[in-house]
Each structure stands twice: as structure tokens, then as C-alpha cells.
Chains A and B, each alone.
Chain A
Amino acid sequence: MEHAVYIAWAYAGAAAFVAALSLWVVWDARRVARRLKALEDRGIRRRSAGSAP
């Protein structure tokens, strides 16, 4: 394949970038979900969701 090195770098770089971006989005979502659960476990509720028992 002509210019195989450039094609390989382009696809490998794009794959690594997309994987890193996707993992960051999922990691951020899990981190926020854990924080929310920790607050709820402490009995803290949003005012609109009613007060804690």
C-alpha cells in the first residue's frame, strides 16, 4: 500500500483519540453518578424532590 505509514498513523491516532474521548465521557458520567449517590446516601435530597425523612 502506497504511503502506508501516513495512513497507519492517521487511523491509529484517530482510534486512540476517539477511545480516549469516549473513556473520558464515561469516566466523568460515573464520577458524577457516584457523587450523587454519596449525597443521597447521606439523606440529602433536592428541595423539589421533597425533604429527607
Chain B
Amino acid sequence: MGMTTGAGGRPLPLVGQGEASWLTTKLDFVVNWARRNSLWPMPFGTACCAIEMMATAASRYDLARFGMERMSFSPRQADLLICAGRVTYKMAPVLRRIWDQMPQPKWAISMGACASSGGVFDVYSMVQGIDTIIPVDVYVPGCPPRPEGLIYGILLLHEKIKGESVFDRELHRQLRAEDPDAVGKPNLPEEVIQQITGPFGNSTKQNRVSGLVSTGALARPGDRLS
């Protein structure tokens, strides 16, 4: 950014090292206002959550009130990925590719228990939370969440966008960098995936029944409760 001249020939910083200037905050306000009020969602509906998402988009709940005039069925014209439903490992590369195809700036909502954590499907074929595949901004709990829940998640995302700054390059670099090396790769390091996907609740008992723990032959050191 350049400099301009103030009263008495004193240079006025547009982007300072200290607090944000009047111009940047106003620009952030306008840009964020435009962005959050014209989010075009890319629906990635794989299960029952998608039914609630459709209900949210239909006339009674009417997502168009929030600037989501249309569902964008092409990732190239979408700002927001709503992953509604369980994602299998076979579907994981598809989800990652759609995310990679979306242009900047982009956000993601993980809708429902299965997308956020794997839900009740703690099994061999199911992704244990899509945040191991793509970065997620808002998690909406529920099985499935009611349309009010999804709308609340979208409004939370509005709040998040409100707090962003177009000049915060670090944020964009970290969260949404178009890093060619990151395309098609897991979103989290291996240790973190292991840590957040250990068996819990009923699945520890199911491991015992299947002979995993009792024989010890197949126990994995990374599992928290094995």
C-alpha cells in the first residue's frame, strides 16, 4: 500500500504497523458486508442432513433471506461448502477435490454429527470428521440439526466473516492458502488425526467383541483406549 499526504505535508499511513486506520476498517466493513451477505453455498449433501438443508433452503426457512439466493452446484461459483451428512473414505477425495476447486475466499460448514465427528459410524469405512480432510469454520451439532440450527451456524459464520480483515494476509495464508503441495492432502498432520479419532464410547466395546483388544495382535499404539 502506498502513502498519502495529510495536513502540513505529513505522510499518513494507510496500513500502519499499529492499529488499523480509518480507511482499512471502513474497507474491511464494506468488503465483509458484501461477502457475508452474498454467500453462495455449495451443497455437499450425502445423507439425512441434506434433507434438513433442503428444508432450510425452501420457502418456510428461506435461506435467500441471508443472501444465499441460489445453491451453487458448481464449486467454481461457490463461497461456502456445506457438508451435510456422513462422508466415507471413498468419498473423501471427492470432497477434497471440490474444496480445492472453490475460489478464494471460501468457508466451510460441517453440518451434523457425522460430518463433524463420524457420529455413530466409528467404523472402517467412515471419515471421522471432515476436518481431517478440509478446514472447517463452523460445526453445527445435531442428528440431523433442525433448519434453525443450520441458520444459526450460518449466522455464526457471518459473525466470523465480520471479524476478518482483507489485509490479514497471515489468516488467508494459513487457512486458505492455494498451496499446490496441499492440494489433495489431508488437512491435519498424522498425529493430530490419530489423536482426534481414537475409539470412544461404544466403539471400545465393539473392538473387544471383534477380537481386536483381547488378542492384542491388531492393537494400534495410537489408539487412546486400546
The answer on A and B forming one complex is no
B residues bordering A, Cβ < 8 Å? none
A residues neighboring B (CB under 8 Å) = none
